[in-house]
Structure 1
């Protein structure tokens, strides 16, 4: 009986023992970054990433590699699947036709421009794709979601981190610069909220920038930004199919997308209880923090800086172009 029990439970326990050192360190770094973010009002994902950089030498230890690799890939997919709990069709219905027009026009234009400009700059196509989706949709969450559906080995960790770092920095700068800039250009509160929601990368940053202007601007910015976020679900499903269509190993379909889609549908129908929905969103955030720690540990700052100025230029041009495009579309649509 004891032998039978050992045969049943030894493999799972052995796997846990291999995963534990690296995974435990990633969890500790995620908790530390969250603690610092709460006390210093800084982006948690960025702080966890920086902590991960500081422990990059530990990730080279053979005992750590299995757990860190598990967090950077599998925990990432769990987090993306749980993202579906924060997105719903009601976000599409809660805004008027003008934000919908601007978002549906600007998002594909930004992604297309990213691929063209990235090719001109000599960047890998998948790097440009991740950067374009991050700018067009919702920053770090979108970059991570797209990276999760890219087949293993086709996108280097350092390139994903370059997008994460750049889009976070630009989102913070835009939150501070865009509100006074749009005020000097003569836009009213509703127009400013619309432009802020259509151009700032992160949901919290877009909402914060809007409420810096007024309550009305904040409401409009939040709704417009959530409309962009709602496009993440169909876009990730489409990219998952396109990127794996020609693979000989296409049997490895990203099944976590089914979880993403299921939660998206349940949330859209209002079938997720509030407590459960909040718990799933919290779990998603926790998974993304653990993933950031793992990605930071797997990349050294020297590798990040070695990519040069081209990746940052791509993000800057796309971000500025997104704002200018939204302004042009608003001008065309206004009577």
Structure 2
């Protein structure tokens, strides 16, 4: 303790700031901003004509508009980076609570065969087509994952090993959202023309439409049985998220060569996702807790994707041009046609 002789005030020593408190102070502004943007996305969904878009996509769009008009404060960047990485990966782990081994088995051997063949073939087709078209390799991998597996969630998970820029991630999400929404609107109109019963239609929707919400929106238009089957098949595709990211991580390590061979190419959350699915398969979680976990997952995804939007530069998106858009369209048409053909053969 010391005395200030100028005004006779006592000067008490300040307690040193703990490292955890310092970290919280650094990331808090960015997290608050990302949460605010995510909240705006949820609010926009309540407006007329916006119900077809998920709050995840709206959060990305609001974030992009905000960052490219108002701008992002310098003190918010650390929290935005935290939301974009840590919170998004935590959301992917929580996504495992929506999936059990029993659900996968319930679609039958034929359903699993159709789903796996469509997924793997579409991924490979998109990679090859992207290379032929001259689309950036990282952006191609993101579009391939989003189309073949589970939309924005797959893009986020895949980016953990591809390390693409925010602009590329935003571009991939925009493409997947656009063509997934078109599929959601068109599939029910084609059910009768293709002679599909509820079981076949649900399998088609679940095996080929991108986002979970889009699958639900399309498949239940074909009837309750179609809706249930479509949802389960879509969850089975989500189960392929882990092996796909593992494979991409191994490829990434091979590209880097032996100099970096000791570095683990796989992110922790992939193994955590598998563990959560296993836990959810062995332990019965109360329905109330499941609903809560689903809401938490959606919120975490929204905040993380809002941060992704906040880190997006529209000028960089324009720089990629029209080719990735054509690639995403081609991939969407491919998985729709291939899965339909496989279903016709099987059933």
TM-score, structure 1 normalization: 0.89
Q: Name the structure 2 match of 1:191.
A: 200
Which structure 2 segments of 5+ residues have no match?
1-11
Q: Distance in 2 between matches of 1:138 and 1:50?
A: 19
Q: Distance in 1 between matches of 2:23 and 2:241?
A: 33
Q: What displacement does 1:288 show?
A: 1.1
Does 2:222 align with 1:213? yes
Summarize deviations over 1:95-118 as a string: whole Å, max 9, x none. 122211111111110010011001
Matches within 5 A, 1:103-142: 103-142=115-154
Q: Which runs of 4+ in 1 moved over 4 A?
A: 57-60
Summarize deviations over 1:258-280 as a string: whole Å, max 9, x none. 32222111012135444444333
2:280 aligned residue (249, 264, 267): 267
Q: Name the structure 1 match of 2:55.
A: 44
2:86 aligned residue (51, 74, 81): 74
2:300 aligned residue (287, 290, 295): 287
TM-score, structure 2 normalization: 0.87
Which structure 1 segments of 5+ residues have no match?
none
Summarize deviations over 1:25-72 as a string: whole Å, max 9, x none. 001111121122245423211211111012215554321211111111
Q: What displacement does 1:177 show?
A: 0.8
Instruction: Tell me whether 156-165 or 277-286 shows the greater mean CA deviation.
Output: 277-286
Q: Name the structure 1 match of 2:188.
A: 179
Summarize deviations over 1:172-198 as a string: whole Å, max 9, x none. 111111221232233333322221222
Does 2:309 align with 1:296? yes
- Residues 244 and 253 of structure 1 are in contact (CA less than 8 Å); yes or no, is this contact kept in structure 2? no
Q: Distance in 2 between matches of 1:223 and 1:73?
A: 28
2:113 aligned residue (101, 110, 115): 101
Q: Distance in 1 between matches of 2:151 and 2:83?
A: 20
3-state SS of paired residue (1:219): helix
3-state SS of paired residue (1:299): coil
Aligned length: 328
Summarize deviations over 1:131-179 as a string: whole Å, max 9, x none. 11111111111111211343xxx31111111111111111111111122
Q: Distance in 2 between matches of 1:328 and 1:224?
A: 17
Matches within 5 A, 1:232-271: 232-244=241-253, 246=256, 247=260, 250-251=263-264, 253-271=266-284
Larger gyration radius, structure 1 or structure 2? 2
